Structure 1
Amino acid sequence: MDDLEHYTLDKLIDVGSLQDIQDKYSKLTNLSTITVNRNGVPLIKPSNFSKFCNLIRTSKEGYRRCINCDAMGGIKSSKLKKPIIYRCHTGLTDFSAPIIVNNVHIGSMLCGQVSIKENDTRNSINLKKISKELYLPLDKLETALKEINIVAYEKIKNSADFMYMFANLIAKMGVANITHSKLLQETKEKMKFQQLARDIQIKSIQSQINPHFLFNTLNTMASMSLLESSNNTVELIYALSDILRYSLRNSDKMVNISIEIDNIKKYLYIQSVRFKDKLSYKINISDNVLNCKIPAMTLQPIVENAVIHGIEPKKEFGKVYIDSETVAGNYVIFKIQDNGVGIEAAKLRSLKDKMNSSSRDDSNISIGIQIVQDRIKYYFGAQYGIDIKSSPNVGTTVYIKIPLVH
């Protein structure tokens, strides 16, 4: 995007959603976290800031130094195009994860305000000098410094890597939305670009991961970390990380069906942990189709609909079944079935009409199915696509027909 440098971070990312993510991330890792623009100025409220750093920032000069330090950390990590771990101007350890879109540095997510366990540097911090230069009481600085967290280096490194990926996912979602809106507006005046707009629309919608899923997953991880030794929490983080990487790296690619299924397994694993004893799932895909090709993120939105719109509103136990049937060795029909709340007849008719329409509905379930339908027909032709059967209080079954492509 040619004019990306003129966009500010709050124009590319929903500020309320970012605050929610930052707060949950900080709670999960127990690290102080702040999101700043490219100049180091905070965009949203800091999360879990240490008493020491809050005290430093009460000084006008201290605040100026913190802003400069945050900006320099962001610039350095942006140049390297990866997270960096560094010492702040007071001597504490921080890390910066740059938010880079189309090679433009638009901001950074910063964490830390800790001392590294393997090399505790608190005793080397010159509190008398800081007190004199920033006009802060020495006794308050000493008390606050004693409360600074001591963290293992490996935890800092892993946290930096995860936040870098997560921050840039959100930025890419924002840019995709802007691109999508601009191109749709242009196609109203220039019909010859209709096909181009459809291609961009597909990529735009495909790059978005349901915030409802992300927020609830982070919330689940944060709660679990307080109740256990962290092994299950680590598995959740890895599963979520793999899902995010998959959606970013394969947004416009054909992938093996086995890869798509692995991604769905991770999604359902996360949801089964979140719902505890309310959700079970079973996947039975024929071996002879696993090495065939499918557009990435074709089955995922349908499975997500089954969980969020079918199982989640249901009070009783929920089940999701995924299986496949090969027909005449030419094509495969995937069946994604849930025993959720189902869809009323009138609403189902409307959904099917919109699914095959060029107009777009605002509801998440409609637009998700529409995009999957469009992509299947775009890649394979009009004879392939989606069919839906549903009964209220019984459940919904979605049939997805695609050719066997090697």
Structure 2
Amino acid sequence: MPFHHADAGTGPERWQGVVGTPIDVRDATRVVVVAAHPDDESLGAGGLLARCAEAGVPATVLLLTDGEGSHPASPTHSREAMAQRRRREAVVAAAALGVGGDRLVHLGLPDGGVADVEDDVVAAIVEVVGDGRDAVLVAPYRGDGHPDHEAAGRAAAIAAQRTDARLLEYPIWLLHAAEPAALGDVRLVHLALDDAEQAAKAHAIEAHASQVHPLSQQPGDEVLLGEHVLARFRGEHERYVVAGGIVDDRLDRLHAQQAEPWGADARWYERRKRALVLATLPTERLGRVLEVGCSTGVMTAALAERADEVVAIDASGAALARAGERTAGLPVRLLHGPVPETWPDGTFDLVVVSEVGYFLAPSALEALVDRVAATLAPVGAVLLCHWRHAVRGWPLDADAVHAAFDRAPIPPRAASYADGDVRIELRAPRSAMPRADR
């Protein structure tokens, strides 16, 4: 983590006493710490990691880059040599904080280029966190003033929303280069460190020798984290920011970039899936239908051919614009917004949840199931359809989504189909199922 303006910071006394309310992590089941560069985790969250080790809370450290850009003018270390050295230092530092083995994860992204691969960083964090309702996710403050730190912070904030993890953000550059007023309206909290935790953090910081000592006496090998910087990270308080939410626009960007990102008009999988869904519907005429997650409206138009009315919801404005064009003249009403917050009035004879459940956080999926149950007409049915392969960047898969609907008052399973690509289920009261005359 380069500090190229060593004389530009505020004095550590400016932050003296600015610590916010106390917190603890002993009630967490697990902790994931994200660091843009080796040493970020020790400076920003070393005390927290030491607390986890002491309390027996499993902690994972995800290092995004190897910090190879810390000394760009070094006459003694190439970028490759610096990357290797800082990797070794990170292992020693992590061990000082009780993190070892496969709980130290190196992504090896380009130092200085985290913002260029932000979607990939989100996916990597989500993969480590999974269903995060039992996890604390700790990452650089997204307003820290360093581009890699801010990109890491934004990615972690999105990952926290997708996984339901509790998010804490640690400032680093901000403590060095800005006044406390730069925090604005965010909430500051702190972890009170005991002597052993302070000592473990100090040992971890010292392990990053390439940063806290000169590489050599030659120009370009100067110390980066001098005492005037390290003083901001010593002491009995470790500061964290509790910031607000963040807009997760990944799917909207995808629809803005591609007219039909899923290939719904052309791909055999999509055409076959649609035929299977339509063949699974309980009746020829459908009455009032709700489609959750309509994308560009291909399934919406097919449902509208058999329904009195289709109400379709999607969070992507770009997708809904194309859905509107596709369903013009059909009995379709489109709603823009996330689910389950965005929801129509009235009851429905059929609710279709197709290829959308795994794009929800676990808590949002549970809330969606509740809304669907409350929306069904007395003999209403639910049709679920989801791609069975891994969904990169989100914690849920098809089986997890379908399992969430496997509870009362959702109707029981009346029909199902599954292969290697897709899983389809109809949940309906027995009285709603047709009986063929012979």
TM over 0.5, yes or no?
no
TM-score, normalisation: structure 1: 0.27
TM-score, normalisation: structure 2: 0.26
Where relative contact order (Cα < 8 A, 6+ residues apart) is larger, the structure is 2
- Which structure: larger Rg? 2
